[in-house]
């Protein structure tokens, strides 16, 4: 472990430590740096590069992502950070031609309806399945406060077919997760709220449409990929990043918080590491939560990009419902979405493997991963495998936290425990949503809490 860093106590300034340099930690540090006057903020990141799962890399003229491809512009907080950076010119909205989204049904690609009326003519559900969805406004809202899985919610409101062909692939695309295990209220709190507030999703859609309040918006990234957001935050001088420093222990003493071998005390500490890391750390107040934290599953994922001759893959990409029992989760037509990810002759297509139904991806050799990805992709694109050139590979042994039913109890316990230690704050995608927008929303909220704490403390 590195011990070379020494924190400097600067007279009159408040000192804040952020542990974890993914979007949650960097976002919180950035907002605090801009909003808390006189704060000196140190971010400690275990890896030699910041960003957590976010990173972009180039190879042979292609621009690839190790993790997220973008965020939705309908929610404001990531865009607000870009505004605060004054870097709006780096934003890259998805190409409007990339609207065509597909799923695999009985081994074939089927286009999802992009407008409600097209739903009736699409082959995504049978006539019976469509009729069942039309009953949705007449189904009473859920009573009782039992935490439901996404599949239970879907079957109750929309019918079995909608779960199989719509919710299952959607959940796989967002969480690489399993609809039979994930909690609706924890994973998609807005959908849960809409049912509670309007009694029906269809009624809610009609009401919100008339108010023009679409929460989704357009998939958005940056000219140089999602990694550019990380680079811009680090370069903004709002905090000091200390890469290559893993913090294992936080102690609270009379003069403040002490971290491992870092000299000097901090007035506040923000923990922004994955739940499995929190479980291994020694942190005041959180001693009794190790088992709960370690119980949050993080299945593996592999991201395998291919160069594909132009004209073969058009649209956004496809997702595969689990009933199809395939070896891949789906594929994103990355340069269809953001044209500058490909070259003049070739498109970039990214295959995803792994997730909660495919833990075997953790043990597979890299050649085997590429082999499976190319075999499946060639079949769906109807090309020979030699026409697909593999140009990279990234594997996450623990990719995305899964919010199973009952997850909210862990979040409550963590919040209670951290509140019992004034000056200690916990954030990260294990608790407040896994999307980039969720992480940046939490960044603003935690920054405000830290600011309030420090102001109250100083009064």
Ligand X SMILES: Cc1cc2nc3c(=O)[nH]c(=O)nc-3n(C[C@H](O)[C@H](O)[C@H](O)COP(=O)(O)OP(=O)(O)OC[C@H]3O[C@@H](n4cnc5c(N)ncnc54)[C@H](O)[C@@H]3O)c2cc1C
Contact 204, 196 (CB under 8 A): no
Q: Say which residue the tokens 């949050």 belong to.
A: 296
Q: How far is CA 222 from CA 69, 123, 250, 306, 437, in A?
A: 9, 35, 36, 21, 15
The residue among 67 and 342 lying less far from ligand X, judged by its C-beta, is 67
**Residue 249: strand pairing partners:** 282
- Closest listed residue to residue 172, CA positions, set 342, 325, 333, 395: 325
Report residue 140 as tokens.
Answer: 């009473």
H or E segment and range at residue 357: none
Q: Say which residue the tokens 């023009």 belong to.
A: 212
- Least spacing, CB of residue 39 vs ligand X, in Å: 20
The residue among 198 and 276 lying less far from ligand X, judged by its C-beta, is 276
What is the side-by-side order of every strand in the sheet holding 91-93? 71-72, 219-222, 91-93
Could you give the CA distance from residue 26 to residue 23 in angstroms, rounded to a whole number? 5
CA 251 to chain centre: 30
- Least spacing, CB of residue 172 vs ligand X, in Å: 12
The residue among 251 and 455 lying less far from ligand X, judged by its C-beta, is 251
The residue among 304 and 307 lying less far from ligand X, judged by its C-beta, is 304
CA angle 87, 66, 45 (to 5 degrees): 75
Q: Which residue is nearest to ligand X (CB)?
A: 52
- Least spacing, CB of residue 240 vs ligand X, in Å: 14
Report residue 371 as tokens.
Answer: 């082999």
- Least spacing, CB of residue 262 vs ligand X, in Å: 11
- Least spacing, CB of residue 216 vs ligand X, in Å: 12
On the CB side of 203, how many CA atoms lie within 13 Å of its CA?
Answer: 16
The residue among 18 and 133 lying less far from ligand X, judged by its C-beta, is 18
The residue among 133 and 352 lying less far from ligand X, judged by its C-beta, is 352
- Least spacing, CB of residue 164 vs ligand X, in Å: 23
- Least spacing, CB of residue 428 vs ligand X, in Å: 4
Across the chain, how many H-helices and E-strands are there?
A: 16, 20
Could you give the CA distance from residue 237 to residue 35 in angstroms, rounded to a whole number? 13
The residue among 156 and 218 lying less far from ligand X, judged by its C-beta, is 218
The residue among 336 and 428 lying less far from ligand X, judged by its C-beta, is 428
The residue among 92 and 273 lying less far from ligand X, judged by its C-beta, is 273
- Least spacing, CB of residue 59 vs ligand X, in Å: 17
Residue ranges binding ligand X (CB under 6 A):
19-25, 44-47, 52-54, 67-71, 246-247, 272-274, 277, 281, 301, 303, 396, 399-400, 428-429, 434-436, 439
Could you give the CA distance from residue 393 to residue 63 in angstroms, rounded to a whole number? 13
- Closest listed residue to residue 299, CA positions, set 358, 364, 368, 351: 358
Contact 316, 336 (CB under 8 A): yes
- Least spacing, CB of residue 177 vs ligand X, in Å: 12
């Amino acid at each position: 472990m590195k011990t070379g860093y020494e924190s400097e106590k600067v007279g009159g300034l408040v000192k804040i430590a952020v542990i974890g340099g993914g979007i949650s930690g960097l976002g919180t540090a950035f907002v605090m740096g801009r909003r808390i006057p006189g704060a000196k903020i140190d971010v400690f990141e275990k890896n030699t590069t910041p960003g957590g799962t976010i990173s972009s890399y180039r190879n042979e003229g292609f621009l690839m992502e190790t993790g997220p491809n973008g965020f939705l512009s309908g929610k404001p907080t990531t865009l607000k950070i870009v505004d605060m950076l004054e870097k709006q010119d780096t934003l890259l909205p998805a190409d409007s031609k990339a609207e065509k989204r597909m799923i695999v049904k009985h081994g074939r690609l089927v286009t999802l309806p992009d407008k409600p009326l097209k739903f009736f003519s699409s082959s995504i559900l049978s006539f019976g399945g469509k009729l069942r969805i039309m009953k949705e406004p007449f189904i009473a809202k859920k009573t009782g406060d039992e935490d439901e899985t996404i599949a239970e919610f879907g079957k109750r409101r929309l019918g079995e077919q909608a779960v199989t062909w719509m919710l299952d692939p959607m959940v796989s695309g967002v969480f690489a997760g399993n609809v039979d295990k994930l909690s609706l209220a924890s994973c998609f709190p807005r959908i849960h709220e809409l049912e509670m507030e309007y009694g029906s999703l269809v009624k809610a859609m009609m009401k919100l449409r008339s108010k023009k309040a679409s929460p989704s918006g357009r998939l958005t990234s940056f000219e140089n990929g999602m990694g550019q957001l990380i680079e811009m935050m680090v370069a903004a001088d709002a905090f000091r990043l200390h890469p290559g420093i893993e913090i294992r222990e936080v102690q609270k003493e009379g003069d403040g918080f002490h971290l491992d071998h870092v000299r000097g005390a901090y007035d506040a500490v923000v923990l922004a590491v994955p739940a499995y890391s929190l479980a291994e750390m020694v942190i005041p107040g959180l001693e009794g939560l190790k088992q709960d934290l370690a119980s949050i599953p993080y299945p593996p994922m592999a991201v395998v990009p291919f160069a594909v001759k132009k004209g073969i893959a058009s649209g956004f990409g496809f997702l595969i419902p689990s009933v199809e029992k395939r070896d891949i989760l789906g594929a994103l037509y990355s340069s269809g979405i953001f044209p500058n990810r490909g070259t003049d002759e070739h498109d970039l297509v990214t295959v995803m493997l792994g997730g909660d139904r495919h833990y075997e991806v953790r043990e597979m050799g890299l050649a085997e991963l590429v082999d499976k990805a190319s075999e499946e992709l060639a079949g769906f694109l109807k090309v020979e495998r030699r026409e697909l050139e593999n140009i990279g590979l990234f594997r996450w042994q623990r990719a995305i936290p899964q919010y199973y039913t009952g997850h909210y109890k862990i979040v409550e316990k963590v919040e209670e425990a951290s509140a019992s230690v004034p000056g200690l704050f916990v954030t990260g995608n294990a608790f407040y949503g896994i999307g980039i927008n969720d992480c940046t929303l939490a960044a603003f909220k935690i920054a405000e809490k830290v600011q309030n704490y420090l102001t109250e403390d100083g009064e």
